[in-house]
Structure 1
Amino acid sequence: MSKAKAVRAVDVGYGNTKFTVGMLDQDFDAICDMFPSLTPTALQNDFSRAIGQQRDTHKIEIRGETYECGKEVRLALGGGSHDRVLDENFCLSNRYLALVRASLAYMGVDEIECLVLGLPLTTYEAKRRPLEQSVAGAHEIGNKTVTVHKVTVVPQPMGGFYDYVVQNNMTDAIDHEMNLIIDPGYYTLDWVVSQGSRPIDSRSAAVNEQGASTILTAVRDAIEADLSCDPGDIMRIDESLRTGRVLRVHGQQVDLEKYRPLIRQIADSAVNKLISGTRGIVDIENVILVGGATHLYRDAVKARFPNLEVHTGGNPVFANVRGFQMLGEQWLRSNESR
């Protein structure tokens, strides 16, 4: 009996790295997982191992440098704020490759027939081919080797588009309707205008420094001014805004609702740039908002499209990587049938 060919997907964001661990014939959300996109230099000391509680991370060696990446990477960092790489060349860096390899380590397979990755539209054309070449091939991860036979890189927002329309049986949106897919990431705000499933390049783009980090940094600065102390990593603020979990700074509960007008103001400014970049929105029939920063932009997007439903799928943080997985499995089916 021949071994089933594996398709996997990785969505390396500036904030979090999302990945799949199975095929779509399983539960959609059960095959998705993530960890922070943090890549500290691995240290020799690991005191948690001494007490039998080793961190859920992977040591990744690349060109003589060793990084620690994974679900419990914050335990390797300690408290405080931690800068992420916000650079258009990030996708070709050692740190990006370390995040991809850590994802491969969690997937539990030795061979991947097709691995689907995504890039923001700011870097897609320039970096797509070099990225495919840098990730294809054999990866030494610890004491095992994972071989990736084919790498496909797609525009990040198209992953969220496929995820939503397929799960919601929006056949017309796939076939011929005019769609606006908005993907606010950690660093960039990306959008694609498509007719059916075909992107319209001249109306699709992205802007840097209009993503979630811009909003969250402004909120952190406002909290710091109010409390006269550093409130810590902006991802703590993001988690509280996204989940409703109480944010405490030095034991003091922070009323995040106070900062909603600030969030809306910055999101409005970003959406204005998006509207200008689409070269007109009168023909848009479907607006689909995807990605992990959906909660920060939803109100601003809805205000600009009062006569349209703004579609947001369940668990939007995994929307792109689920769509990548769909595209990869579609590629596998079409190639196996030849």
Structure 2
Amino acid sequence: MPIAALDIGYSNLKVASGRPGGPPRVIIRPAGAAPAERLGERIRHANPDTTDAPIFVDIHGRRWAAGIEPARLDGWVRSLHADYASTDAYLALVRAGLVLTGERCLDTVVTGLPVGQASDPRRCEALRQLILGAHQTGVGVIEVAKVRVVPQPVGAYLDLVWSATDPALLERIETGAVLVLDAGFYSFDWALVVAGELRRSASGTSLEAMSVLLERAARQLAEVYGGKPTPLALEGAVRAGRATWLQAGHTVTLEPVLRQAATEVAGVALEALRQALRREEANVDLVLLAGGGGALYGATLGRLFPGATVVVSDDPVAANVRGFFRHVR
């Protein structure tokens, strides 16, 4: 029976589906979701691109559009808070993710919560009940038989375990201390895994994440080139992998702007990390960077853990969801 993994972030919806033990099919969509009437009217040219077409689902008897760029929503403010997983927008993205699997019945769905929330049994059970059972979607009812909730960085760790081939790297994974950093849009999460065991007391969450970084970068661009700060549009450009940005008529290379903002934001996030690791006796042997902003923190972390190998996940945005999928044996 097919299984699926859902990594529902504030910026991206990531889905992995397939049969246990086999390779997953991975789909990434923007995490915009709102009632369908909030979707702006798009004027298209011939041969339109349909890869960003909204996924329509039913939420409490109301038609919602999900899996779209947040900037396409008119007069709608998305949720950006700790109770995101209890919102209608999150439920809409859950159902959109189930539609993207192409299945009508799923044996198991694995998903994650930030480290700080994954240690709360009530939050985990609420999320499990949200995903469990029957979901009404635009393609009919989709059934979910079982749900597992794990700390988000565990996904990136499992993804590395499955994909690593270098003997020296495998030794560090199996016998050493691996610090997994997941730089998401809302939260910057870390998890310490020592010889394959998660050390919860040395794992945690900071809110100095990509949303703060993008807001700072947008302000810097406006200060230097004029115009208004537009973090939402900048987020879309980063998600699309664009190398340049148009600010008030000026074409700007994005990478140095983002790296400068990351240097300023990283200090706060990494101070919380230092405090969490203060009582941990194990030395960090390997640092794994995942999430949409993982690579931006690499230089700072290299200085913080000079003896550790720093590795960036292959396709870091999808690392967690690939690992969630591997959580089912």
User: TM class, shorter-chain normalised?
Assistant: 0.7 to 0.9
Aligned-residue CA RMSD (Å): 2.8
Unmatched tracts of structure 1, length 5 or more: 331-338
**Where is the strand percentage greater, Structure 1 or Structure 2?**
2
Aligned partner of 2:274: which letter? I
Distance 1:277 1:323, change over 3 A: same
Aligned partner of 1:247: which letter? W
Unmatched tracts of structure 2, length 5 or more: none
CA distance in 2, matches of 1:22, 1:40: 28
Q: Deviations over 1:272-323 (max 9, x none)?
A: 2212112247622221111121122122112212222101121111000000
Per the alignment, residue 310 of structure 2 pairs with 310
Matched, 1:128 2:119: no
Query: Aligned ranges for residues 95-114 of structure 1 at < 5 Å?
Result: 95-114=89-108
Same amino acid, percent of matched pairs:
26
2:218 to 217, 220, 230: 220
Aligned partner of 1:65: which letter? R
Q: CA deviation at 1:23?
A: 4.1
Q: CA deviation at 1:84?
A: 3.5
Aligned partner of 2:58: which letter? E
Under a length normalisation based on structure 1, what TM-score does the superposition of the two structures give? 0.84
Per the alignment, residue 26 of structure 2 pairs with 32
Partner-residue secondary structure (3-state), 2:32: coil
Q: CA deviation at 1:262?
A: 3.4
Partner-residue secondary structure (3-state), 1:269: helix
Q: Contact conserved, 2:154 with 2:191, CA < 8 A, in 1?
A: yes
Q: Contact conserved, 1:220 with 1:237, CA < 8 A, in 2?
A: no
Aligned partner of 1:204: which letter? S
Q: Deviations over 1:124-145 (max 9, x none)?
A: 1321111101210011102411
Query: Aligned ranges for residues 117-266 of structure 1 at < 5 Å?
Result: 117-126=111-120, 127-169=123-165, 171-173=170-172, 175-207=174-206, 209-234=207-232, 236=234, 239-240=237-238, 243=241, 245-256=243-254, 257-258=256-257, 260-266=259-265
Q: Contact conserved, 1:216 with 1:238, CA < 8 A, in 2?
A: no
Q: Deviations over 1:91-116 (max 9, x none)?
A: 12211111010011111111100000
Partner-residue secondary structure (3-state), 1:39: strand
Q: Contact conserved, 1:165 with 1:173, CA < 8 A, in 2?
A: no
Q: CA deviation at 1:15?
A: 1.3
Partner-residue secondary structure (3-state), 1:203: strand
Distance 1:148 1:173, change over 3 A: farther
Distance 1:228 1:91, change over 3 A: same
Q: CA deviation at 1:219?
A: 0.8
